[in-house]
């Protein structure tokens, strides 16, 4: 059994099994057994089930928020507004989006081609600790509606809301064996999912290094693969940006969820002409963020996911000093003056200036409340800097001329770009990145296509 901690208090809140190959084999057998009936339902019947799950989760949304906040250390307000809300809307969205899914038909002079969709079969879902139920539901919903059955492994750091989902499915008499949750460490339990010959697709969200292991294991088995990995995203402040709006937006993009979102803007690139006017506004927005008890409604920044992760983030802050950086704000561990939080892993939101764009702190994913500021002298240089890392996931551009912003965005080698906003999500759009940020896209039709296999039936005219 593995201890599961509340990172804000350091207390053990649960124990989970470190499941082994035999456990994964049992879960896969259950998924296989349940597949014929589940895929045999009509799409409409499966859509009804997704709406029932959404309804049941909605009735538990406060419990989801509290559990997620306790399991991750994130503020309760964030867990409510983002994690719980999006877990529910993921099911609702894919129920609706699957309705409009059409099957293509291509007619020839003497024949007709019918493109039909079949489920992939038993699919493996492996998810990280930063947005536990949000990312698990993002994969479960489309996999189910396309007729697949599931073996899912949440991060061993955040098992609680996956269990909550399983309990919810049980409570609404959801067919047994369709969704199977297995708990445990990546190299043992996760690896067993990658290796199981009857799990036909892997949808993975996590770190780039682990993504390489997933690809190496599942690739030669010709499993379908969707890899959503890390990022080192640029927030670009153009010379004609509204400085107040851009400062607030850049701070939100940098420090939401303590910077533990793959979409976070961890590098802020600022036109040199407005650098001195922008930075004080940015620092004000960061200084206004309240670091404290995740259970407190007014907290903006909670604990990072673990003591180990806090040490990793603090080591990057030390490295920044060695690389010539100046810590303009924050830079240290915080121990809130609350008796229960003395063993928490709280880091102040940290702003670092004067680092080279090619420094390790400006090119490696830190995945914590740390942001580096950089000047550029031309749009061309800004694009070069934005594209200068091994990642290519997301980015945002702040300007008063949206035509210029869109033109600029087209030159950034990333999968997701925002102009004058951040984390504004239309679930129909493709989500994913290039280079070390992964392979494939999820969202809207891209999820429905990933979780289905296409067959073309060509019928000769009589
Ligand atoms: O990811 P891991 P973690 C990045 C971020 C973070 C780093 C590590 O840089 O610091 O990844 O975070 C399972 N076979 N992101 O530890 O290790 C593991 O148990 C099969 C970005 O969360 O990749 C967990 O369930 N599975 C990311 C899942 O993989 C394995 C969000 C993710 O764990 C495995 C989170 C193996 N050999 C972290 N090893 C994003 N893009 O959102 C581990 N796992």
Q: How far apart are CA 209 and CA 218, in angstroms?
A: 15
By the 8 A CB rule, do 73 and 7 touch?
Answer: yes
Residues 210-222 have a mean pLDDT of 98
What letter would DSSP give residue 365?
Answer: -
Whether ligand 1 lies within 6 angstroms of the CB of 125 is answered as no
Write down the catalytic residue from 68, 156, 200, 228. 228
Phi, psi of 76 (to 5 degrees): -60, -35
Ligand 1 mean position to 159 CA, how many Å?
Answer: 14
> Given this model, what pLDDT does residue 27 score?
98
- Give the rounded percent of residues in the chain with a pLDDT score beyond 90: 100
Ligand 1 mean position to 283 CA, how many Å?
Answer: 31
Mutate which of 206, 393, 416 for ligand 1? The one with the most ligand atoms within 8 Å of its CB, which is 206
Residues 53-81 have a mean pLDDT of 98
Q: Could you report the per-residue pLDDT of 7-48, keeping only the tens digit for each?
A: 999 999 999 999 999 999 999 999 999 999 999 999 999 999
Residues 6+ apart with CB under 8 A from 265: 233, 234, 235, 250, 253, 254, 371, 394, 395, 396, 422
458 is catalytic: no
Residues 171-184 have a mean pLDDT of 98
> Given this model, what pLDDT does residue 102 score?
87
Q: Could you report the per-residue pLDDT of 97-129, keeping only the tens digit for each?
A: 999 998 899 999 999 999 999 999 999 999 999
Ligand 1 mean position to 128 CA, how many Å?
Answer: 5
List the residue whose alpha carbon is closest to atom 20 of ligand 1: 190
Whether ligand 1 lies within 6 angstroms of the CB of 191 is answered as yes
Residues 86-104 have a mean pLDDT of 96
Whether ligand 1 lies within 6 angstroms of the CB of 138 is answered as no
Write down the catalytic residue from 156, 200, 262, 442. 262
The pLDDT mean for the chain works out to: 98
Q: How far apart are CA 383 and CA 75, in angstroms?
A: 34
> Given this model, what pLDDT does residue 168 score?
98
Tokens standing for 254? 């940098």
Q: How far apart are CA 51 and CA 81, in angstroms?
A: 20
Is 245's pLDDT higher than 90? yes
Q: Could you report the per-residue pLDDT of 251-295, keeping only the tens digit for each?
A: 999 999 999 999 999 999 999 999 999 999 999 999 999 999 999
Sole residue written with tokens 């690389």? 323
Mutate which of 83, 193, 207 for ligand 1? The one with the most ligand atoms within 8 Å of its CB, which is 207
Phi, psi of 351 (to 5 degrees): -115, 125
By the 8 A CB rule, do 204 and 194 touch?
Answer: no
Whether ligand 1 lies within 6 angstroms of the CB of 196 is answered as no
- Opening angle at CA 352, ends 349 and 355, nearest 5: 155
Q: How far apart are CA 230 and CA 201, in angstroms?
A: 20
Cβ atoms < 10 Å from Cβ of 56? 18
Sole residue written with tokens 């800097």? 385
Strand 350-353 and strand 326-329: pairing?
A: antiparallel
Q: How far apart are CA 192 and CA 183, in angstroms?
A: 12
Q: Could you report the per-residue pLDDT of 381-440, keeping only the tens digit for each?
A: 999 999 999 999 999 999 999 999 999 999 999 999 999 999 999 999 999 999 999 999
Whether ligand 1 lies within 6 angstroms of the CB of 331 is answered as no
- For the chain, the maximum distance between any two Cα atoms, rounded to a whole number of angstroms, is 81
**DSSP sequence for 26-75:** HHHHHHHHHHHHHHHS-HHHHHHHHHHHHHHHHHTHHHHHHHHHHHH---
> Given this model, what pLDDT does residue 387 score?
98
Closest ligand 1 atom, residue 126 Cα: 25
Phi, psi of 432 (to 5 degrees): 155, 180
Q: Using CA of residue 421, residue 426, residue 430, residue 436, what is the dihedral sign? A: positive
Q: How confident is the model at residue 318 (pLDDT cuts 50, 70, 90)?
A: very high
Ligand 1 mean position to 230 CA, how many Å?
Answer: 9
By the 8 A CB rule, do 394 and 234 touch?
Answer: no
Whether ligand 1 lies within 6 angstroms of the CB of 205 is answered as yes
Q: How confident is the model at residue 49 (pLDDT cuts 50, 70, 90)?
A: very high
> Given this model, what pLDDT does residue 96 score?
98
List the residue whose alpha carbon is closest to atom 41 of ligand 1: 229
What letter would DSSP give residue 16?
Answer: E
Domains of the chain, CATH where assigned: 2-229+437-460 (3.40.605.10), 234-427 (3.40.309.10)
> Given this model, what pLDDT does residue 382 score?
98
**DSSP sequence for 150-168:** EEEE--TT--HHHHHHHHH
99 is catalytic: no
Phi, psi of 108 (to 5 degrees): -110, 175
What number of residues does the chain have? Answer: 462
- Opening angle at CA 453, ends 448 and 455, nearest 5: 125
Q: How far apart are CA 84 and CA 71, in angstroms?
A: 13
> pTM of whole model > 0.95?
yes
Residues 125-152 have a mean pLDDT of 98
Helices and strands in the chain, H and E counts = 15, 22
Tokens standing for 15? 């124990």
Residues 347-375 have a mean pLDDT of 98
List the residue whose alpha carbon is closest to atom 31 of ligand 1: 206
List the residue whose alpha carbon is closest to atom 44 of ligand 1: 186
- Opening angle at CA 437, ends 347 and 305, nearest 5: 25
Mutate which of 184, 186, 226 for ligand 1? The one with the most ligand atoms within 8 Å of its CB, which is 186
Residues 6+ apart with CB under 8 A from 69: 75, 76, 78, 79, 294, 295, 302
What letter would DSSP give residue 455?
Answer: E
By the 8 A CB rule, do 160 and 68 touch?
Answer: yes
């Amino acid at each position: 059994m593995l201890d599961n901690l509340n990172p804000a208090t350091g207390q053990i809140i649960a124990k989970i099994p470190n499941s082994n190959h035999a456990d994964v084999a049992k879960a896969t057998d259950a998924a296989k057994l349940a597949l014929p009936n589940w895929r045999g339902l009509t799409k409409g019947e499966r859509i009804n089930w997704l709406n029932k799950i959404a309804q049941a989760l909605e009735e538990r949304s406060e419990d989801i928020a509290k559990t997620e906040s306790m399991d991750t250390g994130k503020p309760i307000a964030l867990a409510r507004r983002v994690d719980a809300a999006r877990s529910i809307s993921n099911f609702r969205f894919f129920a609706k989006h699957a309705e409009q899914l059409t099957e293509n038909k291509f007619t020839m002079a003497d024949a007709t081609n019918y493109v039909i969709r079949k489920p992939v079969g038993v699919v493996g879902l492996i998810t990280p600790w930063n947005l536990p139920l949000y990312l698990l539901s993002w994969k479960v919903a489309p996999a189910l509606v396309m007729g697949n059955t599931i073996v899912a492994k949440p991060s061993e750091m955040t098992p609680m809301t996956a269990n909550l989902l399983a309990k919810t499915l049980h409570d609404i008499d959801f067919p047994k064996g369709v969704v199977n949750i297995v708990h445990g460490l990546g190299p043992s339990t996760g690896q067993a999912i990658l290796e199981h010959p009857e799990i036909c697709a892997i949808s993975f969200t996590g770190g780039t290094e682990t993504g390489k292991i997933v690809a190496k294991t599942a690739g030669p088995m010709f499993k379908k693969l969707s890899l959503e990995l890390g990022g080192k995203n640029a927030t670009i402040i153009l010379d004609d940006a509204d400085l107040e709006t851009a400062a607030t937006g850049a701070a939100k993009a940098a420090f939401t969820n303590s910077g533990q979102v793959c979409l976070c803007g961890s590098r802020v690139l600022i036109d040199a002409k407005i650098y001195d006017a922008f930075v004080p506004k940015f620092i004000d927005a960061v200084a206004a963020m309240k670091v404290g008890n995740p259970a407190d409604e007014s907290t903006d920044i909670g604990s990072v996911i673990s003591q180990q992760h806090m040490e990793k983030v603090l080591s990057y802050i030390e490295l920044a000093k060695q690389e010539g950086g100046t810590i303009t704000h924050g830079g240290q561990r915080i121990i809130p003056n609350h008796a229960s939080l003395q063993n928490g892993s709280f880091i102040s939101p940290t702003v670092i200036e004067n680092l080279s764009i090619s420094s390790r702190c400006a090119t490696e994913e830190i995945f914590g409340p740390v942001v580096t500021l950089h000047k550029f002298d031309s749009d061309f240089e800004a694009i070069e800097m934005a594209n200068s890392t091994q990642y290519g996931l997301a980015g945002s551009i702040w300007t008063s001329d949206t035509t210029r912003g869109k033109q600029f965005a087209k030159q950034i080698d990333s999968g997701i770009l925002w102009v004058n906003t951040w984390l504004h999500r239309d679930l129909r759009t493709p989500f994913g990145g290039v280079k070390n940020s992964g392979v494939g896209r999820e969202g809207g039709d891209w999820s429905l296509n990933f979780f289905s296999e296409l067959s073309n039936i060509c019928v000769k005219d009589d």
